[in-house]
Amino acid sequence: MKEGLYNLKLVITDEKIILKPIIYIIEPKIEVEKCYICKDVDSTIMTACKHQYCSTCIETWLERSNRCPYCRTRMIEDDLIMIE
Ligand SMILES: [Zn+2]
Ligand SMILES: [Zn+2]
């Protein structure tokens, strides 16, 4: 699989916020850190504020809040990048 990034679109439904990949972009390699929430697995998603989370943690989080769990920056459409 090619190295690259997926932009994710935040889709807000009545019940919850879900993530949808929309664009594939090739960018310089990002240093993947451990998830900031569980601190256990490698991150798969990076926010615009450069904080990284695994998809399990961030999806669970986004069901409750649309702010970055770490710095509280509001996460809007196109702000989330999937690190693959
Ligand atoms: Zn995690
Ligand atoms: Zn943040």
| Per-residue model confidence as pLDDT tens digits over 54-67 | 989 998 998 888 89
- Dist. CA 26 → ligand 2 center (Å): 22
> Is the pTM value of this prediction over 0.85?
no
First-to-final CA distance of the chain: 9
Sign of CA dihedral 56, 66, 17, 15: positive
Q: Mean per-residue pLDDT for 76-84?
A: 72
- Dist. CA 78 → ligand 1 center (Å): 21
- Dist. CA 53 → ligand 2 center (Å): 10
34 DSSP 8-state letter: B
Q: How far apart are CA 18 and CA 21, in angstroms?
A: 10
- Dist. CA 84 → ligand 1 center (Å): 15
